[in-house]
Amino acid sequence: MVSRRTMLKWGAATGAGLLFPIAYRQGRALAQTKSGLFFGYQPFTQPLFIPEVLTPLTGRDRLFPAPGAYPRNPGPNGRPRTPTGNCNDVTHGIAPEFGHCPEWNRFNRGFSPGNTHEQEFELVTEETTHRFVPGGPDTPVLTYRDGTKAAGSGTTPGPTIVAEYLAPVVLRNCNQLTRNRTGVNSTNHDIETSIHLHGSHSPAHADGYPDFYVLAGEARDYFYPNIAPKVTDPGTLMAPVCGGEFDTTWIPSTLWYHDHAMDITGFNTSHGLAGFYLVFDDRQRQLADRGVIPQIDGRDAFGNPLDIGLALVDQRFNADGTLFYDFLDHNGRLGNVFTVNGVVQPKHKVERRKYRFRFLNASGARIYEIRLSTRRKMCIIGTDSWLLPRAIEVESFQLAQGQRHDVIIDFRGAPDEVFVENILVQEDGRGAKEVDPNKERDLLLKFEVSGPDSVEPRCEEGTVIRGFAGLDPDGQFSFHRGEEVLATRRFQFDRSLGAWTVNNRFFNPRRADAVPVLGRGAERWIFENGGGGWWHPIHTHLEGFQIKTVNGQPPRRERQFNSDLVALEGGFEAEVFVKWRTFTGPYVFHCHAVEHEDMRMMGVNDPTPAQGDPSRPIDATGPLDGETRIDPVVSGVVPDCTELEEEQRIFFDAVGDVEKLEDRGVGFPECRFDLGLRGNQGR
Amino acid sequence: MISMPKVARSSLLLALFFLGAACSIAFSAFMDRHEQRGATHKQSDRFSNILLYTQHGQPVRFYDDLVKDKTVIINVTYTACGDICPASTAELAKVHELLGPRMGRDIVMLSLSIDPVADTPERLKQYWEAFGAKPGWLFLTGKPAEVDRLRRELGAYDLDPLIDANPTQHAGFITVGNDRTNRWAALPLLMHRPQLVGTILRMSRRT
């Protein structure tokens, strides 16, 4: 056994080993892996951490200033008061232009007329310390903290946000990662953040656009309507914003929120900025009542919930127990210490009954193939944000970065110990190598199983989960149909001279790379991995897609329905159908290998209302057709306020003017992305 | 202007410096530096503090003289490089113009030659002059093995050995870092220029 002291000495020796570059690279982070011990931790002896539910604000605790009503300086582009570093300083509000529809808006729950206001939450981003193992070092981490709880109580994963379908939410996020104001952090600099609610159908200003920052010491309001997009009218091939039916196939369920700040997403997420966001609806309660899934608020004999999120992160540490991060490792940060919900290789007591687990790959570069040590089948009821039409039983499932699976594990008949294991071999940040079910096993989590078998229905292959027609269990799943496809776009994700590219171009947050007609039909998007051996998990914001083919073949069964991520191995090509509904852009689509993303492997998608007479026949061709859909002349977007002029001026200004550069646009009623001012391309 | 060691005025001094660099003086200085900064886990802890020569023939230590307490814009290049490197260098010259008086004050541009045998200080000086002889922009050469190690520490490498061995394959991006605040990023050099400069300025904050 290696003592902690020995490990520290060893770590210090390699830390000073710059003279031996190979040892330095491989040995900088503490090896833990299969046999070694991490700060003396005996694996599977500490309990699983289950994040608390974020407290809704009520009565006098409600947000002040109220969402959408912020004190401003006078003038056409009035800025908020000078930030003083507390949560009242909302420098980025929610835009009042959203929420006009009677059936969904900020102030009415469609199904519950008694509630006349959106649900409010306050989430603070702060640094705190965290023990990855009992008795281990206090590791500085970045956390989200319940705004009603004491400073310093932030956790990783952050509090779980529980929302209801069609019940709108305003989340106020206060960034206290400042260098020298409220909430000092130990990195010695102000850290900008941006929260993306991954898998949600939310307006652009609340989507965590990469440079719609929450600057240190400031706050931003995020508006999550918790809606599904609308059904496409088969006659006009248009999906309305107001009116029409919700496309119930796209009711969200398993979402997660995480940092998305441009240039620093990898650092922020690896240091802890992620959490679960779960949406419930009548169909899930119905499934619970029928025993298909566990009771939603149910607890087992140990007092633990029956519905548990499992965020998988492979961590990497310095010798002193601080988190290792290399800003200049452009391949991806591959860890060697496996954590679940922020603790190293935990154990969790379960009864011999069914549980619902939301598996999330929150890692930066690691891809998992998850299997139970018993090889027993697991019942997948959801993929990414959405429930499947029917349950699918698998012996293992793959999770690329950001992907989720909503899984029923039935412990009836299970032995006393069941491990969750990863059987995918991966040696560097580029991507996974292969599944090796016999040799390579990373043990992630141990279930300690006890008690007699429960009596309840089984989740089996084909068990009906969610049909298109809402509560009708026999309803059909709503596939995007080929005849709805009115445009095809191709995006090649590649590398050029050491820099990541999308269609041979570099990301510009002020230039649209796709301008779909909002709500019109469906589009075929082809994602191509240019090769070189890197995996690129491709993620779209605003809407998920339906994967038709990967390299000409159908995807795995559990990925044939709704997804928001498709994992592309080197040289692979995926064809997906997607509809861009409800909200105008800008949104990003990007590689979810966060180190690639930070190096700008992103594109901008800017769904735009149809021009002219909406009743005229839809013209599938036009200036955006085919390759020219990425025509710079027609697709540029600029804000209609004065940022561009300020950008020109600031180059000659002194230090301290940086905030002028940060986008203040979307979310300010006076400064929206102006669709009439296209054409700003720069080059 | 950034502080620089005084120019070695005679070949004797230069030779003495070389001798010192090759011996334990440099080694112990390096270890001290590393131990001193090791606990903070700065990105620059991973940089070799190697001896380099600027286009003016000045000997400089990579960390002590060029990176410490500054915002740096780093690219790898070489003067014999065909079309790609001149385009990159020309783009850097435009970025330099946009950064204006900040250049050489608290922001430094470092172009590391990865063909250090051919790229003598004299040749780098001609190259620098061909791109406007801008202040605060240093072209650097050194010992091949050390330069190659530094290149890797700066993230300018490819896991594919064939691509890695092709020196033009690292010319498409710059590394931007603020050693005071330990903020680092790599950015495509040919991205939208105002965006690039905006990011450099954001990263150059003192806080």
A475 against B155, higher pLDDT: B155
* Mean pLDDT calculated for residue range A510-524: 84
Structure tokens at B77: 């290049």
- Do the strands A169-175 and A119-130 form a parallel or antiparallel pair, or are they unpaired? parallel
Question: Which of B62, B157, B159 is best to mutate for the A interface (most A CBs within 10 A)?
Answer: B159
Amino acid in position A590: H
Question: Which of A327, A329, A604, A657 is best to mutate for the B interface (most B CBs within 10 A)?
Answer: A327
Query: How close A341 comes to chain B (CA, Å)?
Result: 25
Point out the residue among A192, A264, A498 whose CB comes nearest to the CB of B172.
A498
Q: Please tell me whether residues A548 and A611 are part of one structural domain.
A: yes
A404 against B204, higher pLDDT: A404
* Mean pLDDT calculated for residue range B55-75: 96
Q: Which residues of A touch B95 (CB under 8 A)?
A: none
Q: Please tell me whether residues A615 and A667 are part of one structural domain.
A: no
With an 8 Å Cβ cutoff, is A632 touching chain B?
Answer: no
Query: How close A72 comes to chain B (CA, Å)?
Result: 25
Q: Please tell me whether residues A582 and A646 are part of one structural domain.
A: no
Q: Is the pLDDT of residue A341 over 70?
A: yes
A581: CATH: 2.60.40.420
**N-term to C-term CA, chain B:** 21
| Confidence band, pLDDT 50/70/90 cuts, at residue B176 | very high
* pLDDT score, position A346: 98
CB contact under 8 A, A190 and B189: no
Q: Please tell me whether residues A569 and A597 are part of one structural domain.
A: yes
Beta carbons of A664 and A90 less than 8 angstroms apart:
no
CB contact under 8 A, A497 and B100: no
Structure tokens at A38: 């991490």
Q: Where is average pLDDT lowest: A252-266, A402-416, B155-169?
A: B155-169
| Confidence band, pLDDT 50/70/90 cuts, at residue A553 | very high
B100 against A399, higher pLDDT: A399
Q: Please tell me whether residues A620 and A547 are part of one structural domain.
A: yes
Q: Is the pLDDT of residue A112 over 50?
A: no
Beta carbons of B170 and B153 less than 8 angstroms apart:
no
Beta carbons of A393 and A380 less than 8 angstroms apart:
yes
Q: Is the pLDDT of residue A67 over 70?
A: yes
Residue A283 counted as domain residue: no
* pLDDT score, position A312: 98
Nearest chain B residue to A500 by CA: give it. Answer: B188
Q: Is the pLDDT of residue B141 over 90?
A: yes
* pLDDT score, position B20: 39
- Tokens 């309840």 correspond to A456
CB contact under 8 A, A600 and B181: no
Point out the residue among A188, A652, A661 whose CB comes nearest to the CB of B181.
A188
* Mean pLDDT calculated for residue range B90-104: 91
- Do the strands A386-394 and A354-361 form a parallel or antiparallel pair, or are they unpaired? unpaired
Tell me how crowded residue A150 is: count the other CB atoms within 10 A of its CB: 8
Residue A572 counted as domain residue: yes
Q: Please tell me whether residues A628 and A490 are part of one structural domain.
A: yes
* pLDDT score, position A470: 57
Amino acid in position A470: G
* pLDDT score, position A85: 62
User: By CB neighbour count within 10 A (0-12 exposed, 13-18 middle, 19+ buried), where does B93 fall?
Assistant: middle
Q: Please tell me whether residues A523 and A664 are part of one structural domain.
A: no
Residue A513 counted as domain residue: yes
Q: Please tell me whether residues A551 and A611 are part of one structural domain.
A: yes
Tell me the whole-structure pTM to 2 decimals: 0.85
Nearest chain B residue to A319 by CA: give it. Answer: B39
Beta carbons of B47 and B155 less than 8 angstroms apart:
no
CB contact under 8 A, A18 and B46: yes
DSSP string over A34-71: TT--BTTB-TT-SBPP-PPBPPPB-GGGS-SSPTT---
DSSP 8-state secondary structure symbol assigned to residue A595: H
Sheet of A378-383: strands edge to edge? A343-344, A337-340, A307-315, A354-361, A404-410, A378-383, A386-394
Q: Which residues of A touch B30 (CB under 8 A)?
A: 18
Residue A471 counted as domain residue: no
* pLDDT score, position A664: 31
* Mean pLDDT calculated for residue range B20-25: 37
* pLDDT score, position B33: 35
* pLDDT score, position A73: 57
Q: Please tell me whether residues A652 and A546 are part of one structural domain.
A: no
Q: Please tell me whether residues A662 and A525 are part of one structural domain.
A: no
Q: Is the bond preceding residue A389 a cis peptide, omega within 30 degrees?
A: no
Tell me how crowded residue A683 is: count the other CB atoms within 10 A of its CB: 12
For residue B170, give the 3-state DSSP assignment: helix
- Which of B59, B160, B198 is CA-nearest to residue A262? B198
Q: Please tell me whether residues A566 and A646 are part of one structural domain.
A: no
Give the pLDDT confidence of A23-54 residue by residue, as tens digits.
222 223 333 444 457 899 999 999 999 999 99
Q: Is the pLDDT of residue A376 over 70?
A: yes
With an 8 Å Cβ cutoff, is A186 touching chain B?
Answer: no
CB contact under 8 A, B183 and A264: yes
Structure tokens at B109: 């541009």
Q: Is the pLDDT of residue B147 over 90?
A: yes
Question: Which of A271, A320, A600, A683 is best to mutate for the B interface (most B CBs within 10 A)?
Answer: A600
Task: Provide the mean pLDDT of chain A.
Answer: 80
Point out the residue among B43, B186, B203 whose CB comes nearest to the CB of A599.
B186
* pLDDT score, position A108: 61
* Mean pLDDT calculated for residue range A210-228: 86
Q: Is the bond preceding residue A65 a cis peptide, omega within 30 degrees?
A: yes
- Which of A274, A530, A315, A278 is CA-nearest to residue A402? A274
CB contact under 8 A, B154 and A328: yes
Structure tokens at A294: 């566990």
Q: Is the pLDDT of residue B26 over 50?
A: no
Residue A186 counted as domain residue: no
Q: How far apart are CA A214 and CA A659, in angstroms?
A: 11
Q: Is the pLDDT of residue A524 over 50?
A: yes
| Confidence band, pLDDT 50/70/90 cuts, at residue B30 | very low
B91 against A633, higher pLDDT: B91
Beta carbons of B121 and B8 less than 8 angstroms apart:
no
Residue A266 half-sphere exposure toward CB, CA atoms < 13 A: 33
Range of the domain at A24: 1-30
Residue A648 counted as domain residue: yes
DSSP 8-state secondary structure symbol assigned to residue A409: E
* Mean pLDDT calculated for residue range A203-212: 84
CB contact under 8 A, A326 and B195: no
The number of angstroms, rounded, from the C-alpha of A523 to the middle of its chain's C-alpha atoms is: 23
Q: Please tell me whether residues A666 and A567 are part of one structural domain.
A: no
Q: How far apart are CA A533 and CA A86, in angstroms?
A: 46
Phi, psi of B107 (to 5 degrees): -120, 135
Name all domains of chain B by residue range, CATH numbers in brackets: 11-203 (3.40.30.10)
Beta bridge partners of B112: B76, B140
Q: How far apart are CA A532 and CA A569, in angstroms?
A: 10
Give the pLDDT confidence of A453-504 residue by residue, as tens digits.
999 999 999 999 998 765 565 667 889 999 999 888 889 999 998 899 998 8
- Our count of domains for chain A comes to 3
Residue A605 counted as domain residue: yes
CB contact under 8 A, A683 and B193: yes
ipTM of the complex: 0.82
Give the pLDDT confidence of A403-424 residue by residue, as tens digits.
999 999 999 999 999 999 999 9
Query: How close B117 comes to chain A (CA, Å)?
Result: 22
Question: Which of B28, B81, B173, B193 is best to mutate for the A interface (most A CBs within 10 A)?
Answer: B173
Q: How far apart are CA A284 and CA A356, in angstroms?
A: 12
* pLDDT score, position A395: 97
Q: Is the pLDDT of residue A20 over 60?
A: no
- Do the strands A386-394 and A347-351 form a parallel or antiparallel pair, or are they unpaired? unpaired
Which residues 6+ apart lie within 8 Å of A227 measured at CB?
A104, A165, A166, A201, A246, A582
Beta carbons of A521 and A618 less than 8 angstroms apart:
yes
Point out the residue among A331, A598, A648 whose CB comes nearest to the CB of B185.
A598
* pLDDT score, position A240: 87
Q: Is the pLDDT of residue A545 over 50?
A: yes
Point out the residue among B155, B172, B198 whose CB comes nearest to the CB of A328.
B155
* pLDDT score, position B207: 57
Residue A4 counted as domain residue: yes
